Amino acid sequence: MNTLLLPCAGAVVGLLFGLGRQVSKPLAEEKSARAINNIEDLLPLHSQHLPQLRQSLASTDARYIRRRTSDETERMWREERRQIVARFLSGVAADFARIERLAVVVASLAPESSKRDEAFRAWVRFRFRILYRAASRWTATGRPLSTAPLVHLTNLVANLSAYAENAMKQLEPPVNG
């Protein structure tokens, strides 16, 4: 029994180490967002297009394409859709990186930046990186991706954006009235 337990434990430790390494490695979009100094450039741009993307991915065009066109045309159509999803994923990652940068800037201005705020940002970043990398790899295989991961990623961007907005409101001086 112990001879089987040791290799299994080693495999689990190896998988956890690999996952931790992947999650700790910043996305390319996060690296480019660090160079942005103008606070107005830190707002999300791509996440707002999720409804249009969902509508086009959920359409019944697939049945029509499958029945009425050649295999080559269907393959090209699927590849175009895969590229659109891949570009959207990259755009959402850029949105996330910009919003996270904004949250860090706002936190640096706050007189009492807390460990709880840092932990919240780290937790959201962890979840975003895992889901983003999984969705990107799935999309790269050419298999259709449901809209659920796209919705979840944009929700993470929205959550972080709401957090940054609330932190900015706390920086405002109280209105005497």
- Per-residue pLDDT of 139-174, as tens digits, reads 888 887 778 888 899 999 999 988 888 888 877 777
Reduce the DSSP state of residue 56 to 3 states and report it.
helix
Top-confidence range, 18-27, 93-102, 105-114: 93-102
Interval 17-26: pLDDT, tens:
666 666 666 6
Q: Among all chains, which residue has been given the structure tokens 């796209």?
A: 150
The closest of 46, 51, 141 to 98, measured between CA atoms, is: 46
**Which of 102, 69, 67, 92 has the alpha carbon at shortest distance from 145?**
92
Beta strands in the chain (DSSP E): none
Tell me the whole-structure pTM to 2 decimals: 0.74
Per-residue pLDDT tens digits for 15-73 = 766 666 666 666 666 656 565 566 665 566 667 767 777 777 766 677 777 788 888 98
- pLDDT of 46: 67
